[in-house]
Structure 1
Amino acid sequence: MPTVIILAAGRGARFLAAGGTCHKLDASLAGHSVLHHVLAAAEASGLPWHLVRPAGGTAGMGASIAAGVNATLDADGWLILPGDLPLIRPLTLQRVASALASHCVVVPRFRQRAGHPVGFARNHLTALTALSADTGAASIVRAARVSGGVRDLALNDAGIIYDIDTPGDLVRARRIVRRRALRDNTP
């Protein structure tokens, strides 16, 4: 079974520079932190998950991915999920994990836009653990695409592309959460 690697190691500098008063992952969204929503989705998916959030929050994307994969070496594969996607749905994580059973790399898409989590099969272990600094896994996806090992998975979940980078993004996310709550509670 693949493990969801939740990346929460960044500084959140853009959020703070745009007027945020705390780290974006700690910002409140519907009574919980942004990160709490991501962790809750991972938990509700039923998939194992691992949080990468070193003290100081200064690890780059590549180093964070490598740390998460190294911490979960027994996994069948990995779903790489940034911690600033609070609208992600548990079913989305399950669908990416299911697609990973028959593909080396799975790239979820919403309306033709690539999103997260990107899934990597176990055969990418060496490449993922070799990542460092702020270089993410895009080069692994490109190489897999050349060999025909990528599945682009169309999903009806805007949460795969809706990240929180500015206080304005947080305001929009609050509106979306309110609309979802109203829709889900309508008889």
Structure 2
Amino acid sequence: MKALFVKYKSVIKFILTFLAVYIALSVIYKLYLQYSDGSRFYPDYMTHLVSKQTDTLLRAFGYNSEILPHPDEPSMKVIVNGKFIARIIEGCNAISVIVLFMSFIVAFSGTLKTTFFYILSGAVLIYTVNVLRIVILIIGMYHYPEYEDVMHTVVFPAIIYGMVFLLWIFWVNRFSKLKQKDE
């Protein structure tokens, strides 16, 4: 058994580090959500911010949009040209995806400085692409409501998770300690 631990030490270290970081960040995020309930930002600050930025981009693309707090649940209603199109919920703010991204990068960490800046730039990229993804999804749902399910459950999640996967691959092949050991 000890021989297996020695042989797979790096794999075990990766899994344990990933899980520790993921659980810690998830707990922090859960506490943030719990304590942001009842704040002046409804439903929570990040979802509120994503909603407002979505509205700004929709207007920049020439759509008459409006973002309103949902009266019955912690979400924001998206209205385009007077028509209710969608609601933006906590899961739409990309924080869970960023937590997943960060956990992987830390588990395959490189130097502290490189890891920090890659996490920062990756998180900004994920957040930005996510807001653009929401805007394009809303425009798609406005013009092609019959494809809402495919767009929302297949196409657009594939975009955000595909990008995260590519960022992971780039990290492992370019900056991680694993790559440095190979050189």
Asked if these proteins are the same fold (TM beyond 0.5), I'd say: no
Q: Quick check: which has more Rg, 1 or 2?
A: 2
Q: Which has the higher helix share?
A: 2
Q: Which has the higher strand share?
A: 1
Q: TM-score range by the shorter chain?
A: under 0.3
